[in-house]
Structure 1
Amino acid sequence: MKRADRLAYNEPTWLDTVAAWVLALAWILPLLYAVWTAFHPAEFSTRFTLMAPLTLDNFRRAWEAAPFARYFFNTTLLVAMILAVQLVLATLAAYAFARYTFRGSNVAFALVLVQLMIMPDILLVANYKTMARLGLVDSLVAIGLPYFASAFAIFLLRQTFLGIPKELDEAARVEGASAMQVLWRVYVPLARPVYTAFALVSVSFHWNNFLWPLIITNSVEARPLTVGLQVFSSPDQGVDWSVITAATLMSSAPLLVGFLLFQRQFVQSFMRAGIK
């Protein structure tokens, strides 16, 4: 293939290939080290030899050292709650911004975009005071409430809804559909790739979120996995990297397995949604 043809078809060059391999190795090497350490005794955490014995004892010790069943339940419930509320609120807000003209709509949408420019850590103190006044400290609702309104989801869905022909609205209205029926039966199905892409981003972020859950929770009953892993880094007992890596693998296993099983769907949803 000629050079002009390669450029026309965006064929990757050797430099692109090398860069991709370097980035892939930079990502996979820490994971491989964690797998090695988790499945071998502690004395082999820094010794790499083919004769090292395999063991599952690190996973047993990690499971017994912390209430992982409760942590998994809290994290799953938290992620599902946040995602469900985000999708409902973002869908309604995006539809209003895309299809309705009202006084101050541009200003309101600009305020939504401002949220994308503010780091969540800046609002930690204000959010904590708000949760304390509402009596929600040390609860799953307190962890999820600051994230219920997602500016990122509103922006994505608004841009998608703007690209849907208005003729579909008119055809549905002629058939007697109400505004909500048009939204749920026309817009939502056509935006399915965007919903999938955003769901992946939201689930990954809130599954791994650490700082805010650490600040707002005090008890095991409300702590997610990321905060629960603190029990393995006590300064009094030292650091057992074999147990820590085993606990880390158990906490990240659902996301890793989900990605491996649905890798093609993940990539297609991001490509169709236009997320870079």
Structure 2
Amino acid sequence: MSAGTFENAAPLSAPASANGLRFDRILFVCGAWLLALIWILPLAYAIWTAFHPPAYETRFDLFAPLTLDNFVRVWHAAPFARYFLNTIALVTMVLNAQLVLCTLAAFAFARLEFPGKNVLFALVLLQLMVMPDILLVRNYATMSALGLVDTILAIGLPYFASGFAIFLLRQTFKTVPKELDEAARVEGCSLLGLLWRVYVPLAKPTMLAFGLVSVSHHWNNFIWPLIITSSVETRPLTVGLSIFATTDSGTEWSVINAATLLTSAPLLIGFLLFQRQFVQSFMRAGIK
């Protein structure tokens, strides 16, 4: 009797549950499409105006002529080649310094014992809660005292240490079994050798994930480079683009969007080519 009751009751609850799951799935998919459209529409407009004459800035024509004149005008109107070199030098310098300094600090917090260790790590976490804009005046005064104003080094120096990188790498290093430390030390490996041969290879996904965040941030950083630089020789792409947009040609959206695409193209192309590696690195690093 009870068996028949259970057999009759099971089909009654299944359709309701299936309908609920189906509705949730449709809701999530619609939300994803909505967010994708909100993100893609400005990019689509920028691409359309950049590759068409100024006459097609505000109207769509399927047979509108394609042109590269906007990019040619941008390249000759401003020293974008110099801006690119400055930006590449900046992000490379900052990333290399961060990986070296933060890896050493994270290893110390994860595996070494020293006085004040917990207090120092709390200060590192506190740095994550401080808005960078609060330190603009203090950083400028420091760079001025060092004689570094209007240099690429001045743009990157305040970011050589990253609390975010230290936290991520420390959490990764703490997952490494201590038996590997003991085995390496038995083989005569020094602390630096242990870090380089054991910890760094295991932390490569985390380093790659942080590297993506760092390069993206400093490629797009604007406020601090705008304050600390004043010459073409030191301006990165973001500052150069803003100054270019304030000139007489700034009223032409086709030219402005062509300059914007030139600025953002390296990051967009890099993501499209290596998006699988990007996602896998973030997943392995535990970044949400």
Q: Which residue of 2 aligns with 1:136?
A: 148
Counterpart of 2:76 in structure 1 is: 64
Alignment-mate amino acid for residue 282 of structure 2: F
Q: 2:97 aligns with which of 85, 101, 108?
A: 85
**Which of residues 164, 168, 183 is equivalent to 1:152?**
164
Query: What are the within-5 Å matches in structure 2 for residues 217-256 of structure 1?
Result: 217-234=229-246, 239-256=251-268
* TM alignment of 1:69-218, pairs within 5 A: 69-218=81-230
The CA distance in 2 between the partners of 1:47 and 1:117, in whole Å, is: 46
Secondary structure at 1:222's aligned position in 2? coil
Structure number, greater radius of gyration: 2
Taking the aligned partners of 1:24 and 1:89, their CA distance within structure 2 comes to: 37
Letter in 2 for 1:208: N
* Cα displacement (A) at 1:161: 0.5
Partner AA of 1:99 in structure 2: R
Letter in 1 for 2:186: V
Q: Deviations over 1:15-58 (max 9, x none)?
A: 22111111111111111110001001112111011121111000
Counterpart Cα distance in 1 of 2:213 and 2:91: 11
- What is the SS of the residue equivalent to 2:207? helix
8 Å CA contact 2:249–2:255 kept in 1: the answer is: no
For residues 55 and 255 of structure 1, the distance between their equivalents in structure 2, rounded to whole angstroms, comes to: 23
User: Which piece of structure 1 moves more, 193-202 or 49-58?
Assistant: 49-58
Corresponding residue SS for 2:251: coil
Question: Which AA in structure 2 matches 1:108?
Answer: L
Deviation at 1:243, TM superposition (A): 0.6
Residue 287 of structure 2 corresponds to which residue in structure 1?
275
1:34 maps to 2:55: no
1:45 to 57, 62, 65: 57
Cα deviations by residue, 1:235-276 (Å, 9 ceiling, x for unpaired)? 655511111100010111110110011010001000111101
> Which stretch shows the higher mean deviation, 21-30 or 135-144?
21-30
8 Å CA contact 1:71, 1:223 repeated in 2: yes
- Partner Cα distance (1:70, 1:209) in 2: 17
Aligned-partner Cα distance in 1 for 2:213–2:236: 18
Change over 3 Å in CA distance of 1:235–1:255 after alignment to 2: closer
* Match of residue 9 from structure 1: none
1:84-114 CA-partner distances (Å, limit 9, x unpaired): 0000000000000000121110000000011
Distance 2:37 2:194 in 1: 47
Deviations 1:58-92 (A, max 9, x none): 00000011101111000000000000000000000
C-alpha spacing 1:236/1:250, structure 2 compared with 1 (3 Å)? closer
Tell me how far apart the structure 2 counterparts of residues 42 and 223 of structure 1 sit (CA, whole Å). 28
Q: How many residues align?
A: 270
User: Quick one: structure 1 residues 236 and 262, their matched pair in 2 at CA, closer, same or farther if it must change by over 3 Å?
Assistant: closer
Q: What TM-score results when the alignment is normalised by the length of structure 2?
A: 0.91
Partner AA of 1:247 in structure 2: A
Q: Conserved in 1, the CA contact under 8 Å of 2:91 and 2:218?
A: yes
Q: Distance in 2 between matches of 1:263 and 1:238?
A: 33
Identity of aligned residues (%): 71
Structure 2 Cα separation of the partners of residues 94 and 210 of structure 1: 28
Q: What is the root-mean-square deviation of aligned Cα atoms in Å?
A: 1.7
Which whole-Å CA distance do the structure 2 matches of 1:231 and 1:50 have between them?
33
Structure 2 CA distance, aligned partners of 1:189 and 1:112? 24
Task: Say whether the 8 Å CA contact 1:232–1:243 is kept in structure 2.
Answer: no
2:36 maps to a residue whose letter is A
> Which residue of 21, 24, 27 corresponds with 2:33?
21
**Cα pair 1:86 1:150 within 8 Å, conserved:** yes
* Structure 2 residue runs without a partner (length 5+): 1-13, 19-23
Once the two structures are overlaid, the 10-residue window that deviates more, 15-24 or 60-69, is 15-24
Q: Does the CA contact (< 8 Å) of 1:232 and 1:240 recur in 2?
A: no
